Amino acid sequence: MSQDGAFLSPISIDEIGIGGVSLEVSKADRSGQNNVTITLSTNRPDLIEGDGTSSAAIALAVEFSMRNEAGETVAEGKIRGGMKVSSPTSALGSHDHLKILRVNGVSILYGHFRSYIAMLCGQTPLREFYLPTISPAAYVELVEKSEVTQKDAGTGATNLS
């Protein structure tokens, strides 16, 4: 086991927060736990470099709904928030600095949202609900491909589902 901290990430969370949340639970029926749909949307952050540090402001929004086996909506909601993530530029090497910060930011922020929604649902008759796990790297890849297409098409939307 390493004790020298070599396993620690150089990525740091400078700010993180939830900007808004809504949750509506209509039934205490968890039969639809595997029938959850989510829509993610994110911003197109700029890479900010200076004083040996690279940083980016990441925004994320998640809309979700769960339906029971009868197709009735059991729970639905939205959550949005943002964070500033940074790293010493030298620690990022020759890799795409913005992409590294963006993937890590989405990962951290989505995990923050998952625990927040689970905590809120624990206070409802539903008692238990978790947003599904995602692959932040795959999501950022989709967003980046979409941004290229949208830039070519002259639009600025980055909503994906």
pLDDT, mean of residues 133-143:
93
Q: Which domains occur in the chain, in start order?
A: 12-143 (3.10.420.10)
How confident is the model at residue 26, as a pLDDT? 86
Q: Are strands 48-50 and 53-67 parallel, antiparallel or unpaired?
A: antiparallel
> How many other CB atoms sit within 10 Å of the CB of residue 94?
5
Kindly indicate the confidence band of residue 152, based on its pLDDT and cuts at 50, 70 and 90: very low
CA separation, residue 53 to residues 1, 113, 156 (Å) = 29, 26, 28
Closest CA to 92 of 81, 83, 101: 101
Please determine, for residue 98, whether its predicted confidence score (pLDDT) is greater than 60. yes
Please determine, for residue 21, whether its predicted confidence score (pLDDT) is greater than 70. yes
User: What secondary structure does DSSP assign to 15-61, as a single string?
Assistant: EEEEEEEEEEE-----TTTT-EEEEEEE--PPPEEETTEEEEEEEEE
Sequence letter at residue 67 = R
Please determine, for residue 160, whether its predicted confidence score (pLDDT) is greater than 90. no
Share of the chain above pLDDT 70, in %: 86
Structure tokens at 119: 């905590």
The contacts of residue 144 (CB under 8 Å, 6+ apart) are 99
Distance between start and end Cα atoms, the chain: 40
pLDDT, mean of residues 59-81:
91
Kindly indicate the confidence band of residue 148, based on its pLDDT and cuts at 50, 70 and 90: low
Cβ contact 47:101 at 8 Å:
yes
